[in-house]
Amino acid sequence: MGERLPISTEHCAVEREGPVVTVTLDRPEARNALSTAMLVGLADAWAYVSATPEVRVAILTGAGGHFCAGADLKAMGTPSSDPRVQARTQEIPNFHWKGLLREDRPSKPLIAAIEGYAVAGGTELLIGTDLRVVAEDATLGLYEARRGLFPMGGAAIRLPRQIGYAAAMDVLLTARPVAAAEALAMGLVNRVVPAGTALEAARDLAGQVAACGPLAVQAILRTYRETEHLPEDEALKVSDELGWPVIGSEDAVEGATAFKERRPADFKGK
């Protein structure tokens, strides 16, 4: 794998290998249901990904054959025994929402690698990522309405915007399981792969993203997020503001030079 970073917690392993950070939900005995220690680890991981220039892409996955079975209200309401986690719950404003990707999403692309169950809060985490690789036998779904609850991670807003009103309401209002093949047909995920290979496929995808110019990749992400609901004329102004500096960057010169010399580009993020 890579180097385990000190921001890891008992329920969230954060590792880095070159330009790729891998974040693993690590509570397999509970199908990686969300806990305070997990959410703190996630919040710190996203902050690290955004703040570290050498990091170009991140992967989010789960340990033990599952992604995430949603919220564990008891675990989330019980203070962690780890003093550092206790301190971080006070230091990070809204650490729950940051960890769940409701607030302050990373400025670098985030790839979900999903095996097994990714339901309720697990699907909300998926909806907060940018690229999604799912095992063929995985189960997705937003079960909150079935339990008389509400998807507080933002799914009621984001899902219709991502896959359309009819498909989103089918998922949200029936609170039924969604198989990988159906998720692909809806446009909810990018790729369906054989069981047990989601992380491997996500790493391949991360390598493709990391090989691109980081200024370009980050500007594309930022442009979409800042213009999603603007009229086109206003959105184009934002696109120009973010895009022209990329066109004039050293990376753009390197990209053209590498193409002419028929070699891989060596982007520096400048």
Query: From the CA atom positions of the chain, what is the Rg in Å?
Result: 19
Helices (H), 114-249: 121-127, 155-163, 165-174, 180-186, 198-210, 214-227, 232-247
- In the residue annotation, 144 being an active-site residue is answered as yes
Q: Does residue 109 contact residue 217 with C-beta atoms inside 8 Å? A: yes
Catalytic residue of the set 15, 29, 103, 144 = 144
Please tell me the distance from the alpha carbon of residue 244 to that of residue 224, in angstroms, as a whole number. Answer: 15
- In the residue annotation, 226 being an active-site residue is answered as no
Distances (CA, A) of 239 to 110, 231, 233: 21, 12, 10
Give the closest residue to 129 by CA, choosing from 106, 161, 98.
Answer: 106
- The two beta strands, 12-17 and 3-4, are antiparallel
Angle at 13 between CA 11 and CA 16, to 5 degrees: 170
Strand runs labelled E in the chain: 3-4, 12-17, 20-25, 57-62, 110-114, 117-119, 131-135, 139-141, 178-179, 191-193
Please tell me the distance from the alpha carbon of residue 204 to that of residue 269, in angstroms, as a whole number. Answer: 21
Catalytic residue of the set 10, 54, 103, 124 = 124
| Active site residues per annotation | 124, 144
